[in-house]
Structure 1
Amino acid sequence: MISFDEARQVILDQARPLGRERVSLTEACGRVLAEDMRAPWDLPAWDNSAMDGFAVRSQDCQAAATLQISGYIPAGAQTHDRVEEGCAIRIMTGAPLPAGADAVVPVEEVAEADGTLTLTARVDPGQHIRRQGEDVARGEPFMPAGSRLRPDGINLLASFGQAFVPVFRRPRVAILSTGDELVELGETPAPGQIINSNSLSLAAAVRESGGEPLLLGIARDEVDCLRAKLAEGLKADILITSAGVSAGDRDLVREVLADLGVRELFWKVAIKPGHPTAFGVKDDCLVFSLPGNPVSTLMTFEFLVKPALGRICGGVDATKPSVRAVLRESTKKKKGRLQFMRVALTQEGDVLYATSAGNQHTGMVSTMVRAEGIAVLPADADRAEAGTLVEVHLLG
């Protein structure tokens, strides 16, 4: 049995980014850039108006001054107009600033009549003007490799005409649930049977973390069935199994993986839940064998699989942020194991409190749903006392 930190380091040592590919900008949201992006031109490309209003010379704009309206520049126009002394040119948002102008007066700050305008507010040089290159200058790196693309990044890339972008390839993640008691979603469970919910939650978690889930269905607790399913899963970049890794006489996953050439790097981690987790490699495929209780499956994915997915997807941190919170109540735990406790969070003044979200049994998925975070209770004690400050990984 190894510690949580040791297990995670062993996993991360095996996780490396995959190859690169170019994808269309419409398909790029959520992907991770594989190259630094530099601006091919200034943004904005020219000085332009930030408001609907009038382009003016600020020196002509003393209090209550009256100016002659001498022209009109709509958005999208090219202009050779010039603002002459005592004049103003009507201008729309985004339109290029005419020569001679050093300010824009919004329409709300003038009184207009008979081709003239009278100023009703102070005018400062440079007001309401977007200067060429003030957002991003030509040649400037505006998005580094390793950035996960969000809608705002898509907007910026589109502004620079990037129809296709270089990204890291998404890992293909094969998911296999094991157990004679399982039936697929849509089937009616007979007495003693349960629906294969783990595959669906793992697929959702993989997709949320940037991978492409490949559902392999259910493998029965029988060597030949397991061998066929696991052999198929080993063709992926990552194989995740749930159940069949404890010490029972029908827990055959590790045995069959070994027969298929998987080199096991550890089995059993000093955590609760998730103690019987195993991890191995075959060629370039990473193999995670997770416990079968639903909460154990989700917890070990969150803390062991997800960091590896982030690295494989291009080095991004795929884990949720964490905060520090004060435990509301004391709780017993197993000494020698790091414990993950599902908690609800409440803020009182400057203090954030963590309270148990309910029954902590690893079959109680509803407690996971109600939880807002996972409190990490240190391994070196058999009790966590009320008032203790603990790290809480946020969910959602």
Structure 2
Amino acid sequence: MIARDPPLPLAQAQARLLALAPEISVEHRDITQALGYFLAEPLAARRDQPAAPLSAMDGFGMRATDLPGPWRIIGESAAGHPFAGTVGTGEAVRISTGAVLPGGADMILLKEDSAAKNDTLLLDGTAPDPTERHIRPRAMDFGEGDVILPAGWRIDAATTGLAIAAGHDRVAVRRKLRVTVIDSGDELAGSGTVRAWHQIPASNGPMLAALAARLPVETTRIGPVPDRIDALIAAFEAALDADVIVTSGGASIGDHDLIRPALAKMGIEPDFWRVAIKPGKPLLIAQRGAQVILGLPGNPAAAYVTGFLFLLPLLRAALGATRVLPVPVMVPLATPMARGGGRMEFLRGVWDGTGVTLDRLQDSGALSPLARANALVVRPAGADAVPAGTPVTVYLTALD
């Protein structure tokens, strides 16, 4: 039985999940409406940038062979208003930053290194070395046909500017993912309902929906769903059009943990169940056609940690991201870390730019340390106690 299978190591469980990522169709979106999406195709430049040699400074354009001058000033080249003629021997053109370098010119003499009187220009400082130092050559940034971004690159503010500069108004991306989040448990009370003393607000569903909202998704919430197999089956059936279903609670083996029995009644067997991490051991992965079902634990810290380590990577993979797993960094401990247990642990902590401080409360049912934290500190299984100042592996949760 699956319940008796040993928990999978984290990397193996992530690989098994990512292999199930659904294939999502490609659409073309206005680049200004594609923030946060991932390129579905490599992006090639449709023009040179710059399209002609430009001045990087204010000064004068001339021939380097005419040094040390003097020169006769014959006109001006301003940004958006290039000089119409060419520069001949002994001639110079006033030029501003970003303006097109006139034909015949191959040097920019800085304004502060020159002295101009009427139409005569003299060297009054140091000539550029090398002489082309202040010139931005044609296609310095990119040339027409150059692949400027690979498929899978996430579109951010700088990417938006680059795509537009390269001649693209629209880009190919995967359509928004449809994600359904199901909260389950008799102890949960939905927003706006009257709670009995023995109930708690259903906070995991909104938390997981907020986590998924970092990415291009359309999220639907169902629940809280009572601890009845028929109610859970109805919830799953209501989410037939979702690309991903993520549940919170009911994924363990207690008498009231009914996610697996409900799926079994629907003829769905988990791909795997249980991962060797803490918090987050009872984690279930299943598939219904192309739809992926991700069953997360009910304890809030466990739901968040597994959402960070499994839900977000799954969504990134389906959306075509190049990097799907969170990237670890090494940072020093600001506080000591006690000896580890039998599973890899993810401790909530705060990274302040110099060190990471572990929260004193690490219970998987506690939300306050999770809200305070901006880092998950990895404590390997069976790790010895380590003193403050020791570099440790950390995942910064504020990053995507």
TM-score (normalised: structure 1): 0.89
Which residue in the other structure is 2:3 paired with?
A: none
Answer whether contact 1:17 1:168 (CA < 8 A) is retained: no
Report the residue type matching 1:357 in the other structure: D
> Which of 215, 218, 224 is equivalent to 1:212?
218
Which residue in the other structure is 2:78 paired with?
A: 74
* Alpha-carbon distance in 1 for matches of 2:67, 2:192: 74
* Alpha-carbon distance in 2 for matches of 1:354, 1:76: 51
* Alpha-carbon distance in 2 for matches of 1:308, 1:48: 45
Q: Secondary structure at the match of 2:93?
A: strand
How much has 1:333 moved relative to structure 2?
4.2
Report the residue type matching 2:123 in the other structure: L
Q: Does 1:331 align with 2:338?
A: yes
* Alpha-carbon distance in 2 for matches of 1:304, 1:322: 15
Distance change in 2, residues 1:184/1:116 (3 Å): farther
Answer whether contact 1:357 1:367 (CA < 8 A) is retained: yes
Q: Secondary structure at the match of 2:271?
A: strand
Which residue in the other structure is 1:121 paired with?
A: 125
Report the residue type matching 1:149 in the other structure: I
Q: Does 1:26 align with 2:32?
A: yes
Q: Secondary structure at the match of 1:263?
A: coil
Q: After superposition, where does 1:279-298 map in structure 2 within 5 Å?
A: 279-298=285-304
Which residue in the other structure is 1:359 paired with?
A: 361
How much has 1:265 moved relative to structure 2?
1.2
* Alpha-carbon distance in 1 for matches of 2:114, 2:205: 64
How much has 1:177 moved relative to structure 2?
0.9
How much has 1:279 moved relative to structure 2?
1.0
* Alpha-carbon distance in 2 for matches of 1:347, 1:217: 39
How much has 1:184 moved relative to structure 2?
3.3
Distance change in 2, residues 1:205/1:347 (3 Å): closer
How much has 1:57 moved relative to structure 2?
1.9
Please list every run of 5 or more consecutive structure 1 residues that lacks an aligned counterpart in the other structure. none
Q: Does 1:2 align with 2:36?
A: no
Q: Secondary structure at the match of 2:252?
A: coil
* Alpha-carbon distance in 2 for matches of 1:325, 1:227: 45
Report the residue type matching 2:394 in the other structure: V
Which residue in the other structure is 1:384 paired with?
A: 384
Report Cα offsets for 1:337-385 as digits up to 9, x if no partner.
Answer: 222222344777xxxx554222100122221233342222223x2x531
Answer whether contact 1:310 1:318 (CA < 8 A) is retained: yes
How much has 1:268 moved relative to structure 2?
2.0
Answer whether contact 2:286 2:293 (CA < 8 A) is retained: yes
How much has 1:332 moved relative to structure 2?
4.6
Report Cα offsets for 1:13-36 as digits up to 9, x if no partner.
Answer: 212542211111111121111112
Which residue in the other structure is 2:349 paired with?
A: 343
Distance change in 2, residues 1:281/1:227 (3 Å): same
Distance change in 2, residues 1:188/1:102 (3 Å): farther
Q: After superposition, where does 1:155-304 map in structure 2 within 5 Å?
A: 155-187=161-193, 189-304=195-310
Distance change in 2, residues 1:117/1:217 (3 Å): farther
Report the residue type matching 2:59 in the other structure: G
Q: Secondary structure at the match of 1:341?
A: strand
Answer whether contact 1:261 1:282 (CA < 8 A) is retained: no
Report the residue type matching 2:304 in the other structure: L
Distance change in 2, residues 1:196/1:115 (3 Å): farther
Distance change in 2, residues 1:354/1:89 (3 Å): closer
More displaced stretch, 13-22 vs 288-297 = 13-22
> Which of 18, 36, 39 is equivalent to 2:42?
36
Report the residue type matching 2:122 in the other structure: T
Report Cα offsets for 1:23-71 as digits up to 9, x if no partner.
Answer: 1111112111111222223221111222233212223342xx5432211
How much has 1:298 moved relative to structure 2?
0.4
Q: Secondary structure at the match of 2:395?
A: strand
* Alpha-carbon distance in 1 for matches of 2:391, 2:97: 52
Q: After superposition, where does 1:55-66 map in structure 2 within 5 Å?
A: 55-62=61-68, 65-66=69-70
Please list every run of 5 or more consecutive structure 2 residues that lacks an aligned counterpart in the other structure. 1-5
Distance change in 2, residues 1:347/1:46 (3 Å): closer
* Alpha-carbon distance in 2 for matches of 1:183, 1:151: 40
Answer whether contact 1:17 1:315 (CA < 8 A) is retained: no
* Alpha-carbon distance in 2 for matches of 1:127, 1:61: 15
TM-score (normalised: structure 2): 0.88
RMSD: 2.4
Report the residue type matching 1:93 in the other structure: T
